[in-house]
Amino acid sequence: MEALRQAGTRVHEPVHHFRLEVPVDTVGRVLPVLARLGAAPRPPVVDGASGTLEGEVPAASAHALRRRLTGLTRGEAALECAFAGYRPVHGPAPTRERTDHDPLDREAYLLRVVRHVAGHPPASWDE
C-alpha cells in the first residue's frame, strides 16, 4: 500500500453525464441534493415552466438521485444518465470490506495459501 502512495497512484471513480428536466419551482430543492450526492451541475437553464440541469454525477450516486427525484419534483422529473468517463476522487479514497483473507495479515494469509497449495483446502472457503 505504501508503494502505491509513493508512486503517486490516484484513485478515480466512474462518472455519468446527466440531463435533468424538472419543474422550475423545484430547481431550488434539487440543487442541494445534487451537491450532497457529489454532482457537479452547470447553471440551470429555465425555459417557461421547466428547468434543465446538466452536469456530472458519480456513478455510485446515480441510483440515489433517481430515487430522490420523485419526492423532490412531485414525480415530474425526467432524468437521462450516460457514462462519461472517470474523475479523480477528492478526499480519502473509498474503501470496502474484504471478502477474502487479507494479504496484509501475512501470517493468516500465508497459512491459507500453504494449506491450499498442499492440497488441503480449508473445510470452508469462507474460513
Give pLDDT, residue 9. 81
Q: Are 88 and 11 in contact (CB under 8 A)?
A: yes
Q: Are 115 and 121 in contact (CB under 8 A)?
A: yes
Architecture category of domain 12-88 in CATH: 2-Layer Sandwich (3.30)
Give pLDDT, residue 117. 65
Domain boundaries, the chain: 12-88, 98-127
**How far is Cα 27 from Cα 24, in angstroms, rounded to an integer?**
6
Give pLDDT, residue 89. 87
Q: Are 60 and 12 in contact (CB under 8 A)?
A: no
Consecutive 10-residue runs of the chain (127 residues): their mean pLDDT? 78 95 95 94 93 95 94 94 92 74 78 70 54
Give pLDDT, residue 107. 84
Give pLDDT, residue 114. 77
